[in-house]
Amino acid sequence: MKIQNKSLIVILLIPILSLILLTGYKAYKKSSGEELNLPIRGYDPRDLISGHYLTYQVDYGVEGVCKSFDNRIEYSEKFEAFICLQPKYFSTSHPKNCQRYIKGECQGSRFIAGIEKFFIPEEHALKLEKLIQNNSAEISISLQENGKAMVHDLLIQGQSWQELIKK
C-alpha cells in the first residue's frame, strides 16, 4: 500500500512539474531573445476551441519567399527554410553572413515560422478586426540566436492592442 501511495504521488507530480518546466522554458525564451517588430498582412480571424485567434502573413520585405528563383511556385512539399532579416534574403539552407535570421519551413508557397497566430479574446475579436483592417499592424517578436521566434504582442499603429481596445 505504501509503495502504491508513493507511486501515486510521483504520478500526480510529474505532469505538474512538467507543465511548470514548460512554462518556465517558454518564459525564458520570450525574455531572452532579441525584440523585433514585423509588419503583418492578410488578416483572417477564425474560431477555434481554444478561443479566437488572428492568423496573418508576416511581411518580411523579402522577395521570392518559398518560390523558385524564377518566381514560379515549384515546391509542393514541406521543407526547412530561412529568412535573413539583415541583409534581407530567402534561403533553403542555413544563411551565411547573416546578422539575424528566422527559421521556419515552407508549406507550399507559405513560409511558416510559428509566429503566424495571435490569440485574442472573444469579446474583442470584431473590434480588433476592424482596427487592424483600417490601420497598419505589426507583431512584436522575441528572436533567438538559433532563428526560433516567439510572438510577444500585437501592435496597431505602434500601440499595444490592449491599450487601443481600452480607448
Partner 1 sequence: MTKLEKKLEHWTVNKIITPDQAEQIKTFEESNQNINWAYYGFLILGALSIGIGFISIIAANWDDISSTAKLIFTFLTLLSLASFNYNLKLKDKKLGLEIGLFLFYLLCLGSIGLISQIFHTGGEFYQATLIWSIITIGIAFYSEKIVIPLIWKSFFIASVVWSIADSNWMHQYIRHNELYFTILACYISSFISVSAIKLNANNSFIKASIIVSIITYIQYIFTLDLFSNFDHKWMTSPLIIIVFLLLTVLIAFVINQSKLLKKNAIILFLILNAILLTLIYIPTVTSPKPILYALASILCLILLALIFASIKHRVLFQFILILISIRIIILYIQAFGGLAATGIGMIFSGIIIMSALFFWNKYRKQLTFWAERITS
Binding interface with partner 1 (CB under 8 A): 4-5, 7-16, 18-20, 22-23, 26-27, 30, 49-53, 77-80, 105, 114-124, 150-151, 162
Greatest extent of the chain over all pairs of C-alpha atoms, in Å: 71
Q: Provide, rounded to whole angstroms, the least separation between the CB of residue 158 and partner 1.
A: 19
> C-alpha dihedral over 17, 18, 19, 22, to 10 degrees?
120
- Output the smallest distance, CB 150 to partner 1, in A: 7
Closer to partner 1 by CB, 81 or 84: give it.
Answer: 81
Nearer to partner 1, 63 or 156 (CB): 156
Which of helix, strand or coil describes residue 23? Answer: helix
Give least dist CB 89 to partner 1, A: 22
Task: Compute the C-alpha angle 102/107/108, nearest 5°.
Answer: 125
Sign for the CA dihedral angle at 73, 93, 36, 53 comes to positive
Residue 19 Cβ vs partner 1, minimum distance, rounded to whole Å = 5
Q: Which is nearer to partner 1, 87 or 108 (CB)?
A: 108
Question: Between 15 and 72, whose beta carbon lies closer to partner 1?
Answer: 15
**SS3 state at 39:** strand
Nearer Cβ to partner 1 (19/63):
19
The answer to whether 34 and 142 have CB atoms below 8 angstroms apart is yes
Cα distances (angstroms) measured from residue 62 to each of 42, 46, 101:
16, 27, 12
Closest approach, Cβ 100 to partner 1, in A, equals 20
